[in-house]
Chain A
Amino acid sequence: AQSVTQLGSHVSVSEGALVLLRCNYSSSVPPYLFWYVQYPNQGLQLLLKYTTGATLVKGINGFEAEFKKSETSFHLTKPSAHMSDAAEYFCAVSGGYQKVTFGIGTKLQVIP
């Protein structure tokens, strides 16, 4: 079984401030982890993924995430928020099979 919990359905940050979106996962096997972004009226797009190896994963648009097995976490960060980062972000987990389970999403608001 696999599941994802995203802490905070809405997060607001000021432009230029640190972005931190939290994700905790549960998986009965070593997990593969993802962050996707959804802009209004669009489908989800892959930001980054963790498979094996380096625990700090860099993605597009300056985002990165760190896999912490001891904390079962995969938090998404960006040092400096930009107005264009306003979107909904989804954490997802896969147990190495085809099935991918998504969290409920976190809406990021960037305040000018």
Chain B
Amino acid sequence: DAGVIQSPRHEVTEMGQEVTLRCKPISGHDYLFWYRQTMMRGLELLIYFNNNVPIDDSGMPEDRFSAKMPNASFSTLKIQPSEPRDSAVYFCASSTGPTDGANVLTFGAGSRLTVL
């Protein structure tokens, strides 16, 4: 398996533009997570899905952020309109769910977003 695949790896955009980040999880993984990484706040969980259904979106910062998972092999995180404070690395991770109680995540390489 190629692992969790994210695109684009780097995105530079101007304030007010729409940004779409994409993720392909590992085949057979029922859980998909979106995290945001910044220097100040570290890794924050934005939202996660189980079997394509959003389970917890309490980490989504505001209405400008939305996430979808139309099928088991694809998810998007959209920011509209984007703002400079959204600049961060966005990670997608997938898992099979808790095994022995422990939920082991496999991360993608991340999408580095810069909003000017």
Question: Which A residues form the contact surface with B (CB < 8 A)?
Answer: 32, 34, 41-46, 49-52, 90, 94, 96-105
Contacts and interface: CB of A to CB of B under 8 A. Distances in A.
Interface in B76-116: 91, 93, 95, 97-98, 100-110
Nearest to A32: B102
A43 B91 contact: yes
Contacts, number: 70
A22 B102 CA distance: 21
A110 B55 CA distance: 40
Interface residues of B, number: 28
Given A43-B91, A44-B105, A102 B43 contact: yes
- Judged by DSSP, the binding face of B is strand
B103 A105 contact: no
**CB-CB nearest 4 A-B residue pairs:** A43-B107, A104-B42, A102-B43, A32-B102
B34 interface: no
B100 A51 contact: yes
A102 B42 contact: yes
Interface in B32-46: 33, 35, 41-43, 45
Contact of A46 (B55, B104, B108): B104
A99 B107 contact: no
B43 A99 contact: no
A98 B105 CA distance: 10
